[in-house]
Amino acid sequence: MKNLDEILNMAKNVQDELQKAQANLDTIEVEGVSGGGLVKVKASAKGRIIGVSIDDSLLNPSEKQILEDLIAAALNDARAKADAASNAEMSKMTSGLPLPPGFKLPF
């Protein structure tokens, strides 16, 4: 029965570390950019949007469609960078664990 207790303790430790890593993701900031820097979106690695910056040159009613497209592109860029930062942080946490190939956390 001692092995079962060890496994349960290890699972509890993994869960605690996972919660710490998830909390840390909200402190990591990434910046999505589009239009050569005309539109920028700051986000946390957890995907929370922190801010949006739009160059004054785009604030023309005739540029509305372009601005909307650039905002969407910057949001997508920020999301991709947030996902990459999240994956990097989570892989640091799981690098020492004896997990089978392809095993994903959280469970």
pLDDT digits (tens, 9 = 90+) for 37-53: 999 999 888 878 888 89
- What CATH number has the domain bearing residue 85? 3.30.1310.10
Within-domain flag for 106: no
Number of domains in the chain: 1
The residue segments making up the domain with residue 13 are: 2-94
**62-81 average pLDDT score:** 89
> Which amino acid, residue 94?
T
Kindly state whether residue 105 falls inside one of the protein's structural domains. no
In a domain, 104, yes or no: no
Does the bond joining 106 to the residue before it have cis omega, within 30 degrees of 0?
yes
Classify 55 as helix, strand or coil.
coil
* Largest CA-CA distance found in the chain, in angstroms, rounded: 72
In a domain, 68, yes or no: yes
Both tokens of 47, joined, read 């995907």
- Measured between alpha carbons, how far is 80 from 86 in angstroms, rounded to an integer? 10
Q: What is the mean pLDDT of residues 70-93?
A: 86
Cβ-contact 41, 49 below 8 angstroms: yes
pLDDT at 11: 79
Output the average pLDDT for the chain. 82
Q: Specify if 38 maps to a domain.
A: yes
